[in-house]
Amino acid sequence: MSFIVAASTPAELNAEPYVSADYFIYSEPVSVSTALNELLGDFSAGERAYFYRWYEVGIVFDNRWGFGYVDRRDYSLRFSRDAAELVGTVVNGDELETGREYDITLESYGVDSEGMRFFVRPDLKPWLNMEVGLSLLKSYSLLDGSVSGTASAVASDEYEYSLAVDYYYTDDILFERSVEDVTGFGATLDIALSAQLNANWRWDVRVHDLLGALYWEDVPNTLAEAYSDRVTVTEAGYAEWDPAVSGVETNEDYVQWLERRINSELYCRYGRLRCGIGAQYWVDDLLTRAGIGYQFKKLNFFGWYWRESSAVELAVSWPVLSVSAGVDNINPEEVKAAFVAVMLNY
């Protein structure tokens, strides 16, 4: 979701307050509804799921510089298709394919952070606008690491596994280790460009976390081998994650590099008709889209089709307000991609 409000203050102050937010969720193997229902539901082929959110409130001066408070959340899971299929089978209590061996890989990335963002909009060219921002961040939540190994179906309702685990965390979701609160501190750069290439062509690009990292002092880490005897699958799914574990649990200093996120659009105008192509890149994943729009007096319509997720987004805008929303399925229980955007200017 994106939401921006700008309200004029007395002219002598040359300042405008603003509020902004971005929200995006995308899941390949399960719907959002299934993810919120303890994964009970249909699974399909897929290799990733992610969610990001950005809230910001602040003030901009002379449309040239400003600062604001930022609250953001970024989570991503990348996994093998075998891993998604195995989890879907056991959670829903379905029959396993006896004798099958599953290749299990999982990479996680997650952080909740907040802080102050400072930005400038330097004068460049009449046809080129730029904004450069620096965020100073503090975080209390970390998830960064990997799981890899194999699992074997020894019967239609039994399986066993052997996994290698290496991850940093503030909450041990795998082995429920008791840990003390830890705080991370860091900074990140972002940049936005809007270029009016000629009368009919415009290119917009924004890069979040162009260069950013959080430093964690004495953060928990687990480096271990986890293995099981036979695990029985019931109609309600397997009972619990209860592996035998050998390895080390330590606390150490850790630098978490923030994953770069890029959004870009290229627009072309023919009279009142507009068309565009766009792309979003984050954590080694690329989502592309194409769209077409029409201007009716001061009212603008634009529709996007997101190729990989099959989501459709519709945007309507006029001088003081713009609204857009997108989903990949009209059935709420089947939605795997969703996003909303609202912008209001006075």
pLDDT for 2 equals: 44
Q: Is the pTM of this model over 0.85?
A: yes
pLDDT for 12 equals: 62
Q: In terms of C-beta density within 10 A (0-12 exposed, 13-18 middle, 19 or more buried), how is residue 73 classed? A: middle
pLDDT for 9 equals: 45
Q: What is the DSSP string of 285-311?
A: EEEEEEEEEEEETTEEEEEEEETTTTE
Contacts of 232 (CB under 8 A, 6+ apart): 157, 158, 238, 239
Other CB atoms within a 10 A radius of the CB of residue 246 amount to: 9
* Two structure tokens written together for 330: 């009209």
Give the angle subtended at the CA of 141 by the CAs of 169 and 189, to the nearest 5°: 110
> Sign (positive/negative) of CA torsion 239, 31, 53, 128?
positive
pLDDT digits (tens, 9 = 90+) for 124-158: 888 999 999 999 999 999 999 999 999 998 888 88
pLDDT-based confidence at residue 122 (cuts at 50, 70, 90): very high
Q: What is the DSSP string of 92-156?
A: TTPPP-TT-EEEEEEEEEEEEEEEEEEEE----BTTEEEEEEEEEEEEEEEEEEEEEEEEEEEET
What is the rounded CA–CA span in Å between residue 224 and residue 245? 7
pLDDT digits (tens, 9 = 90+) for 315-336: 998 876 778 889 999 988 889 9
pLDDT for 105 equals: 94
pLDDT digits (tens, 9 = 90+) for 254-299: 999 999 999 999 999 998 999 999 999 999 899 999 999 998 888 9
What is the rounded CA–CA span in Å between residue 150 and residue 252? 28
Which amino acid, 92?
N
Instruction: Give the lowest-confidence range in 122-136, 167-181, 184-198.
Output: 167-181
- Tell me what the mean pLDDT of segment 184-190 comes to: 97
pLDDT for 5 equals: 43
Instruction: Give the lowest-confidence range in 13-17, 20-24, 239-243.
Output: 239-243
pLDDT value at 178 more than 70: yes
- Tell me what the mean pLDDT of segment 161-188 comes to: 92
pLDDT digits (tens, 9 = 90+) for 191-210: 999 999 998 999 999 999 99
pLDDT for 241 equals: 67
Contacts of 65 (CB under 8 A, 6+ apart): 118, 119, 120, 121
pLDDT for 324 equals: 87
- Tell me what the mean pLDDT of segment 308-316 comes to: 93
Q: How many angstroms separate the first and last alpha carbons of the chain?
A: 20
pLDDT digits (tens, 9 = 90+) for 38-94: 666 677 778 898 899 999 999 999 889 999 999 999 999 999 999 888 888 887 778
pLDDT value at 250 more than 70: yes
pLDDT value at 231 more than 50: yes
